[in-house]
Amino acid sequence: MKKAGYRKTRLDAAAPGVHDARMKAWLFPLLLCCGFVSADESPITLVIHGGAGVGRESLTPDKEKQCRQVLEQAVRAGHAVLVKDGAALEAVQTAVMILEDSPLFNAGRGAVLTGAGTAELDASVMEGRTGQAGAVAGVQGVRHPIQLAEMVMRKTPHVLMIGRGAEELARAEGLRFEDLDWFITPEQVARLERARKKSAALDDNDFSLRMGTVGAVALDRQGNLAAGTSTGGLVNKRSGRVGDSPVIGAGTYAENGVCAVSCTGHGEFFIRNVVAYDVAARMKYGGASLADAAEAVINEKLKKLEGRGGLISVDARGGIAMPFNSDGMFRAWIGPDNVPHVAIFQD
Amino acid sequence: MKKAGYRKTRLDAAAPGVHDARMKAWLFPLLLCCGFVSADESPITLVIHGGAGVGRESLTPDKEKQCRQVLEQAVRAGHAVLVKDGAALEAVQTAVMILEDSPLFNAGRGAVLTGAGTAELDASVMEGRTGQAGAVAGVQGVRHPIQLAEMVMRKTPHVLMIGRGAEELARAEGLRFEDLDWFITPEQVARLERARKKSAALDDNDFSLRMGTVGAVALDRQGNLAAGTSTGGLVNKRSGRVGDSPVIGAGTYAENGVCAVSCTGHGEFFIRNVVAYDVAARMKYGGASLADAAEAVINEKLKKLEGRGGLISVDARGGIAMPFNSDGMFRAWIGPDNVPHVAIFQD
């Protein structure tokens, strides 16, 4: 078994098509001069994640293949929105909905189960252009929590809605519901059993029980940024526990001209450290590049606190950073090369 | 009627005993040299608020007098904790519990009512020394939501708990409950009726219906900072709507060596702009003083967005800032002069 340790991963240097924010700083003007991109069009970029905390030992070759397939499908679908001049937020939603529908990831169908054996779902979205945001926490039965988060943003004067009140909005707006059993997969039932046997409370060291969340960040042709995150939270969690995913500033943040961020990991650490906004603040007030800001938050600040997880992020130029300090983080991206890349570990 | 406008209020310059962060920068070393404070003791400070958005026209002399009395009682009680070398968080809780019990303020008893006629309460606390935090949203029947927030912090591995799950924790920990009717005051019933008549939805321009929250920030003798916030939210709100008060980073934030912040106002703006943490980030990464950071967030950033409200804050030296861009903000403080000060408008 591979020793779980903190590893630096500013970017997957070996993977083609990835450019960090500093590289972008000279690449973009260069492409501009050469006529490869026009001044009024941003280099469209989509990055998605399927959660941090996966261990190599828990991933069979067959399951890894399935996960990679779904990640590629999701990143392709979201990117197709951007190619057709669609909005960053629409691309984010499109990708996240595919991950929510997949039983392989901890969001929507296949979400981990609470101590009560139910799937309580959280999600959020934020739009960099308007600074608008929407989020839901503790909802049941809503097939696509990310859609409901967007509904809170668009259809109400509110940002965060929880539980029954949020479900009523989903009904009123005609969002798709599924039977509560539809969300529950045999794998998650088994996982809950294992978690219950292990301890009444959670074993703090069993990261595989804690992690898992899906999310996406995008930069569209108009230069608008957006971010979205969706999760089932923590296996065997107390009913009512909410992690960072629906917390704007912690799990999700987007601001045009700065960056878009979606987080995954041990949610309590991400809330206390206001992780998503902290990346933006280091850029805005400290002049850090996206790569340095994201790295400092995940591999310095959170690492010191033993707060495990990672994030995906894109800046206003399409530069991306995907640091994580856990064993692995499911992720995929399509940048200026228009080619989908998928990675799980420090490949 | 006084025209509601944005007013700059870095500090209540006319009120005695208030020193802004820059003043503190030279005052503290001076007092230190003169032997008035010792090097290992911080100048204890407590600041509390009872909500922003109050209009002069809606405040009768009699009600103003009652509000001032409760504010003074709360700030004195919290400060007494600090005088006895108590912890900043205990001082914060002590003051907030008095405001929660008062029917005059929108928290605990006397909280505004949701569209369904119920009091759904939110609260949060954060401790600067440990970076620990606790928060609850959408709870009913718990007499002191601020206590429950602290319970989430101390007794669970979680930060944020909502609804029934949070209430179960309160029961398990033996927190005091009251009948749901106990929270409902005739004044709030009348207010809900007025809000319902005005519009099915809320009138965006009626700030007096939106505001109101209580909170406290403290610096204790050991140099530890803490912040806490408690609210009933928004009158006639949709059931399930949660504002900024239970959102760490938005309504509440504390970090030793930097600042402690508690916000009040139109919560959605405070969530989207991650207000409490933004004050800290401007200080940490941008080198701003507390006064400048707080002023920039409330009277520049939020003002431009027409996001009404204010905040109270204290830095690591005991410097305080209490800017607001609404008509008034109930507030009280005791600084190094050991004298309680109470203010409502731009006195």
Which of B213, B229, B231, B252 is catalytic? The answer is B213
> Is the predicted pLDDT of residue A19 greater than 50, yes or no?
no
CA A42 to chain centre: 22
Instruction: Specify whether A213 is catalytic.
Output: yes
Nearest to B242 among A162, A240, A281 (CB): A162
User: Which of chain A's residues have a Cβ under 8 Å away from the Cβ of B255?
Assistant: none
Mean pLDDT to the nearest integer, A319-330? 96
Chain centre to alpha carbon of residue A342: 14
- Nearest-Cα distance to chain A for B126, in Å, is 9
**Stretch B302-312: mean pLDDT, rounded?**
96
Judge whether residue B310 has pLDDT over 80.
yes
The mean pLDDT of A143-152, rounded to a whole number, is 98
**The pLDDT of residue A4 is above 70:** no
Contact A240 B202 (CB under 8 A): no
Average pLDDT across chain B, whole number: 87
Using CA atoms, how far residue A20 sits from A51, A108, A116, A138, B158, in Å, is 21, 31, 43, 36, 34
Q: Which of B138, B159, B242 sits opposite A268 (nearest CB)?
A: B159
pLDDT of residue B178: 94
Q: What is the ipTM of this complex?
A: 0.88
In the predicted model, is pLDDT for residue A20 greater than 60?
Answer: no
- Cβ neighbours for B205, distance < 8 A, ≥ 6 positions apart: none
Q: What is the pLDDT of residues A49-104, one digit of tens each?
A: 999 977 788 788 999 999 999 999 999 999 999 999 999 999 999 999 999 999 99
DSSP class of residue B56? Answer: G
The reported pLDDT for the residue numbered A1 is 34
Q: Which two tokens stand for residue A235?
A: 């296996």
Interface probe with A: pick from B139, B245, B272, most Cβ of A within 10 Å: B272
| pLDDT bracket for residue B18 (50, 70, 90) | very low
Query: Is some CB atom of chain A closer than 8 A to the CB atom of B80?
Result: no
Specify the higher pLDDT residue, A325 or A54.
A325
B169 touches chain A (CB under 8 A): yes
- 3-class SS at B91? helix
Among A64-78, A287-301, B186-200, B201-215, the range scoring the smallest mean pLDDT is B201-215
What is the predicted pLDDT for the residue at A200?
45
Task: At A133, list the tokens.
Answer: 């945001």
Q: What percent of chain A has pLDDT over 70?
A: 84
A209 touches chain B (CB under 8 A): no
Query: What does the pLDDT read at residue B204?
Result: 41
Task: Decide if A159 and B282 are in contact by the 8 Å CB cutoff.
Answer: no
Rounded to the nearest 5 percent, the helix, strand and coil shares of chain B are 35, 20, 40
CB B171 within 8 A of CB B177: yes
Mean pLDDT, residues A39-57: 85
Facing B133 at nearest CB: one of A159, A248, A272? A272
**CA count, 13 A, side-chain hemisphere, B340:** 18
> Average pLDDT, stretch B321-344?
96
Please provide residue B197's backbone torsions phi and psi, each rounded to the nearest 5 degrees: -70, -40
What pLDDT shows up at residue B23?
A: 47
**Helix or strand (DSSP H, E) at B310:** strand B309-315
Please state the rounded mean pLDDT for residues A313-335: 97
The predicted structure's pLDDT at residue B55 = 77
Q: Measure CB to CB from residue B241 to each of A138, A161, A286 and give the nearest one.
A: A161
Look at B17 and A181; give whichever has higher pLDDT.
A181
Tokens of B39: 């090097």
Q: Is the pLDDT of residue A195 over 90?
A: no
Contact B164 A240 (CB under 8 A): yes
Calculate mean pLDDT across residues B323-331.
Answer: 95
Of the two residues A18 and B186, the one the predictor is more confident about is B186
| Mean per-residue pLDDT, B198-226 | 73
pLDDT-above-90 percentage for chain B = 70
Between A178 and A208, residue with greater pLDDT:
A178
Distance of CA B75 to the CA centre of its chain: 12
In angstroms, rounded to a whole number, what is the distance separating the alpha carbons of residues B340 and B332? 7
Which of B:287-346 have CB within 8 Å of A? Answer: 305
- Please tell me the predicted confidence (pLDDT) of residue B284: 98
